[in-house]
Structure 1
Amino acid sequence: MLIRPAVEADWETLKALRLASLLDSPKAFGLSHAEVAQYGEQQWRQRASGRSGPVYFLAWEGDLPVGMVGGVIDRHDEYQLIAMWVRPESRGTAVASRLVEAVEDHARSLGRHSVVLSVAPDNSRACRFYQRQGFVFGEATESLASHPDVLLRRMERQMPV
């Protein structure tokens, strides 16, 4: 398995993974499939290159892209893990944990000592996974932009210095 930052040339792969994630788990992300499907090539190129803010990491098993995750400094000046998704046939393998490690390594390279994320508490599989990775629940909740009926809880992982 290879985990690496996306580059501009990966725009079609990032697009395919992102759209697949939104079809597979529509209530897990702040954007809807309909919104994201409207992005043009230039927007995807910017996202893949990191010029739009988040840095995306892609997981590959041979020539097959099997997962993605993003990392970004959010409006609260915290390093946030976003857009985590692994193809169903690769779940339960090391793909997800390796993607989280890539985000944590990137956060450390920016001098950050913690990573935050938001997750729906009823997404029990994701919650258990993040807890195994060392994330703990905080008190903050917010509504999911794409599905306001879904309340998210904040999780945070303090990383060793």
Structure 2
Amino acid sequence: MVTLKVLTADDWREWRELRLLALTEAPEAFGSTLAEWQGEHDTEQRWRDRLTDVRLNLHAVNGREVLGQVSAYVTDDPGVVELISMYVRPEARGTGAGAALIEGVCEWARSIDARAVTLGVRGTNAPAIARYERSGFVVDANGCRTDCDMSMVRFLTAV
């Protein structure tokens, strides 16, 4: 059973492990690179700061196994949340982990009265685009991102 865990700075080791795997396994999917997080940049304080500076960080877990992760923050428009750093381990894809992570972000966004969740994705990443579409996202023709070539949005309704 997939559950979500809200991370704090004390969870930096677990976040680091999966983030480095994500940047290794799917470098084209992210705005940052593996090199930016290795070597002299790979410090406990930097990982702690990352988990502190970004408002929401989640892991999808099954028991003690971490299946995936995602982050989100409020944009300059307080009614819009940006979903970032989404990654699910290859062996955990199709287990519901991705859907759970997305719903976790959307639930958090609703709890802070956001009206929409946005994200950027590479137009060539068909599996990710399909996952986001299944979760209610649509292409946002007005979205403009520098690190991804496609913007998507999900408008939230009150629950």
TM-score when scaled to structure 2?
Answer: 0.90
- Identity among equivalent positions (%) equals 32
Cα–Cα, structure 1 residues 104 and 120, in superposed 2: closer, same or farther, change >3 Å?
Answer: same
- Offset at residue 76 of structure 1 (A): 4.6
Is the Cα–Cα contact under 8 Å of residues 15 and 44 in structure 1 kept in the other structure?
yes
Structure 1 Cα separation of the partners of residues 54 and 100 of structure 2: 22
CA distance in 2, matches of 1:93, 1:105: 20
CA deviation map 1:63-121 (0-9, x unaligned): 11110000111245431000000000000111000000110111111110210000111
1:155 Cα deviation from its structure 2 partner: 0.3
8 A contact 1:47–1:54 mirrored in 2: no
Shift of 1:61: 1.4
Which of the numbers 143, 153, 157 marks the counterpart of 1:156? 153
State yes or no: 1:98 paired with 2:116.
no
Q: CA deviation at 1:141?
A: 4.2
Q: Please give the alpha-carbon distance, in whole angstroms, between the structure 2 residues aligned to 1:29 and 1:54.
A: 19
Please, what TM-score do these two structures have when normalized by structure 1? 0.89
1:86 — aligned with what?
88
For 2:50 and 2:60, locate their aligned partners in 1 and report how far apart those are by CA, in whole Å. Answer: 16
Which amino acid counterpart does residue 9 of structure 1 have in structure 2? Answer: D
* Equivalent residue runs for 1:6-85 within 5 Å: 6-37=7-38, 38-48=41-51, 51-77=52-78, 78-85=80-87
- CA contact 2:3–2:100 (8 Å) conserved in 1: no
SS of 1:16's partner is helix
- Unaligned runs of at least 5 residues, structure 2: none
Mapped partners of 1:124, 1:141: distance in 2: 19
Whole-angstrom CA distance in 1 between matches of 2:145 and 2:110: 26
- TM-fit CA distance, 1:142: 3.3
Counterpart residue identity of residue 82, structure 1: I
Amino acid at match of 1:56: N
Could you tell me whether the CA contact under 8 Å between 1:118 and 1:153 is conserved in 2? Answer: yes
The CA deviation at 1:14 is: 0.3
Q: Determine if contact 1:23/1:33 at 8 Å carries over to the other structure.
A: yes
Tell me the C-alpha RMSD between the 2 structures. Answer: 1.4
Richer in strand (by share): 1
Structure 1 gap segments, 5+ residues each: 145-150
